[in-house]
Structure 1
Amino acid sequence: MIQRAGALQVRLRVAAPIDAHPITAVFGAPTVGAAIDDPDRLVILAEDDSGRPIGWAKIHRCPHDDEQAPAGHYLGGLGVIGAWRRRGIGTALTVPRMAWIRKRTDEIWCVINPRNEASLALHTGLGFREVGRGPRFHTTTFDGGVGVLLCAREVPPVDTLTP
């Protein structure tokens, strides 16, 4: 699928097992192969005109509550190559993940390091609201010691969201 990311056109597609190595090599995501193979997860790849990976993002499902965060589908693992940042690719990778989750549940979760102001702005701009802070959510810990738990419950229908 060709997606507009700001003034750019970026090709987005669901990652296949053959994409695990390039995603790991470019973005340092060693567990992406397991995510690609898991039907409860989704990995999306963004490519430039020549088919080179320029971004990726995934979803994971936490089947159980922990002390800090509920069970549910979480956005996670979003990466964009430095030269391609601040061009709308993160949003282009996030909207289809939200659509995928929305088909399964009414709640979309994510955890973010509060130091990552760009990610906080992206997610709050798409309807996420802070519901908690803590040192760990499920297996995720945070540089700086505290993370933010966000949830989107009353998100507009995904077809009205524009990347």
Structure 2
Amino acid sequence: MTTPPPQPYGPHDIAVFPLTELDWPEVRTVYAAGIATGHATFEADPPATWTAFDTSKHPDHRLIARDGSGALLGWAAVTPTSPRPVYAGVVEHSIYIASGARGRGVGRRLLDELVTSTEDSGIWTIQSSLFPENLASVALHRATGFREVGRRERIALMTYGPLAGRWRDTVLIERRSPVAGTAASSVR
């Protein structure tokens, strides 16, 4: 008898909350597992401490997703791209999904909530760089309104993991808000 494939979580099976210091041990575990794939980031390790993570992420736009049992399914956060006031509405985001939750709608839920959170505060552009080999992430971002704006070929040398020693490309993506950043809105 074959086991049926995992089904997407229903909308009531995924709860999204602000990411806090109490979540850090689980967030760090999911982060490290994503890094270990070699398709998430050029960083070889997650930040060592909550303080290092906390100071690098915008405090109003850090989210976690949990299932009905309370298990951490994933997290998303943003970082300002520049301290210059003209870029106050531009952030770079990160999203990591627990290995057992991938392909089950968690990423979509987190990105939808992140878009709402950032737009509500006047952020007009969310951007990131993805490894083009990470097809699931590329598809998720396209489905949530991100577009490819460029490709950086051989931008950096991978220093760890299964692709250590290889030069990697990244795809630059962005999502421009249709409501934030217009003449009628302002960054709060």
Return the TM-score normalized by structure 2.
Answer: 0.64
- Aligned-pair distance for 1:141? 7.0
Displaced runs of 4+ in structure 1, greater than 4 A?
140-144, 154-157
Q: Which residue of 2 aligns with 1:148?
A: 171
Q: Tell me if structure 2 keeps the 8 A contact 1:35–1:58.
A: no
Q: Which residue of 2 aligns with 1:113?
A: 131
Runs (5+) with no aligned partner, structure 2? 1-7, 33-44, 181-188
Report whether the alignment pairs 1:94 with 2:97.
Answer: no
Correspondence 1:14-163 to 2 at 5 A: 14-28=18-32, 30-31=46-47, 33=50, 34-36=52-54, 40-41=58-59, 42-63=61-82, 72-76=90-94, 78-102=95-119, 103-134=121-152, 135-136=154-155, 145-155=168-178
- RMSD of aligned alpha carbons: 3.0
Quote the Cα distance in structure 2 between the aligned partners of 1:83 and 1:146. 27
- Aligned-pair distance for 1:86? 1.0
Identity of aligned residues (%): 24
Runs (5+) with no aligned partner, structure 1? 158-163
Q: 1:17 to 1:124 in 2, by over 3 A?
A: same
Aligned length: 145
Return the TM-score normalized by structure 1.
Answer: 0.73
Quote the Cα distance in structure 2 between the aligned partners of 1:146 and 1:39. 25
Higher Rg of the two aligned structures: 2
Q: Whose strand fraction is larger, Structure 1's or Structure 2's? A: 1
Amino acid at match of 1:96: E
Q: 1:124 to 1:141 in 2, by over 3 A?
A: farther
1:10 to 8, 11, 14: 14
